[in-house]
Every structure is written in C-alpha cells, then in structure tokens.
Amino acid sequence: MRALYDVPAPAKINTFLHIVGRRADGYHLLQSVFALLDWCDTLHFELRPGPQLSREDLGTPLPADDLCLRAARSLQQATGCPHGAHITVSKALPSEAGLGGGSSDCATTLLALNRLWGLGLSRTQLAAIGLQLGADVPFFLFGRNAWVEGVGEALTAVDLPPTPLLIAKPVAGVSTAALFSDPRLCRNTGLAILAGFLEAGFSFGHNDLQPVAQMLCPQIEEAIAWLASQGLQARMTGSGSAVFAPLTTPLGAHAGPDGLLLHVCSTLTEHPLRGWAKG
C-alpha cells in the first residue's frame, strides 16, 4: 500500500490587508502580502484501492465534511480518478486565527493526492480546483510568498527574508462572515503598489478588518496591548483573532496573560511542497 506520511501544511500571515472595493456579486477586493510560516499542521495520506475517502483526526476534531475531504472529492470528480485515500490530520494551527490553517490543509491535500494518485496536474490546474474551495487555497498551491490582489486569486511572487515572529492567539475567535458583512468595515482603501511594501516591509499598510474585529472580540486589542508592553508592534493577521509581531531580538522568558496562546515562528522563503507539482 502506497502512502505519504508527515506532509506539512504551513500557516500564513497577512503582513497587511487592505480592502479596496467590492464586486457586484458581493465579494470584497483586497490587496495584501501573504507570508508563509514554518508553523504547520501535519497530514498523512494512505492509498485506498477503491474510491472511498475517509479522515482521522489526531487531536482537535474537525467538521465531518472538512476541506480535506472536500478537496479529495473535488480532485476525484475533476479527474475521474478511481482511487481513494485515508487522510490523517494532526492539527497544530489554531482555528479562527487568520492563519489559513483550513485552506493550507486543503492545498496540501490536493498536492499530496495529485502525487499519490499519479495524476500529474500542474499547480495552475490544482489552483483552479482549489479556488472553488476557498479564496486562500490558490496561495498555498502557488508555493511562494506573494503580493495578493483581486479576491485572493491574483498572485505575484515576493521575496521575503526569513523573519522571526511572535504569534499571539486569544482563545476567542472571530466570524469571518460577520466581519465582512459589518457595515462599519472600511471598503475603500486606496490602491497600494508593490514597491511601497518592498520599501517599508512589515510596517507597510494596515489591516482594514482589525478595527471591526477588535469591537467584536476585545481580546484582540488586549493581545496587541500586551505585546506593546513587551516592546513589540503587533497587527492582526487576516480576519483574526491571531496577531503577530516581528521579533528584532530573542524573546525573553515571558508568559502571556491567561487565555493567550504564544508561538514563536519564522517566515519561509517558499512552501515546503513547492516542488510537488509543476507550474
């Protein structure tokens, strides 16, 4: 029986997130830089001779029909593949964090099953399937840190040096749907250019979702204030509730407030599975 074990699904942060408009169908147009992290979920894939798909959770239980199973089913339907798989998921990334954990698991599933089933699809073909499952999935299939536009599908590779970060995740989460439907959300930030980000780095821009998220989840503001007390400039990633701060010096032996998960990690220069599919 063929299998792929210990397959990583890395997190990401939005170094900034500007909402620059809204399409007629209601989808928001954004600009952002997505940066991959060395903080990962771990997945295992075992080939099944028939078309059956199954999933086992090690630790945090996932929804019955999660993005991994939906990705596998979509790949079967798109290719007519007769094979099945048993997927085991070991979650390390917190949910409702803005770290892209579910989308990353989905992308890793597409990459791994493309290899396990011998399908030979390109990253572009996989991204077309992934976009139907989630706006962030094409980024994780892209394989590089990226300047992101549109609804998340327009990607331009960006070279970022490895940067140590402190991630702080409050226990409480934020509903992405509630954020994007909130009438207080700013939807008309002016267009930025990539050169501006390349000049300013992680200090560039802001997160348009953060003010509303802080109103819906006060623990976000408390996390940012605690990081400021440690001399760190923090910003929310994505739709939150996790916030991040670049580390210019090694982190001292500080414990965060009760209810705040702290994790030290680093940005990656590329996705660990970048070579698993051709362009």
Task: Round the average pLDDT of the chain to a whole number and report it.
Answer: 94
Q: Residues 57-112: pLDDT tens digits?
A: 998 888 889 999 999 999 999 999 999 999 999 999 999 999 999 999 999 999 99
Pull the structure tokens for residue 219.
Answer: 């623990």
Q: What is the pLDDT of residue 251?
A: 66
Q: What is the pLDDT of residue 138?
A: 95
Q: Residues 168-189: pLDDT tens digits?
A: 999 999 999 999 999 999 999 9
Q: What is the pLDDT of residue 259?
A: 82
Q: Identify whether the C-beta of residue 215 lies closer than 8 Å to the C-beta of residue 184.
A: yes
Structural domains of the chain in order of their starting residue, each with its CATH number: 1-279 (3.30.230.10)
pLDDT higher than threshold 60 for residue 254: no
- Cβ burial 2-11 (10 Å sphere, 16+ → b, else e): eebeebbbbb
Q: What's the farthest any 2 CA atoms get from each other in the chain? A: 56
Count the neighbouring beta carbons within 10 Å of the beta carbon of residue 99.
26
Active-site amino acid positions: 12, 136
Percent of the chain residues past pLDDT 70, beyond the cut:
97
Burial class (CB in 10 A: 0-12, 13-18, 19+), 49: exposed
Q: What is the pLDDT of residue 252?
A: 59
Band of residue 130 on the pLDDT scale cut at 50, 70, 90? very high
User: 87 has which bridge partners?
Assistant: 45, 55
**Taking the CA of residue 60 as centre, how many other CA atoms within 13 Å lie in the half-sphere pointing to its CB?**
12
Separation between Cα atoms, residue 160 and residue 92, nearest integer Å:
24
pLDDT higher than threshold 80 for residue 255: no
Band of residue 1 on the pLDDT scale cut at 50, 70, 90? low
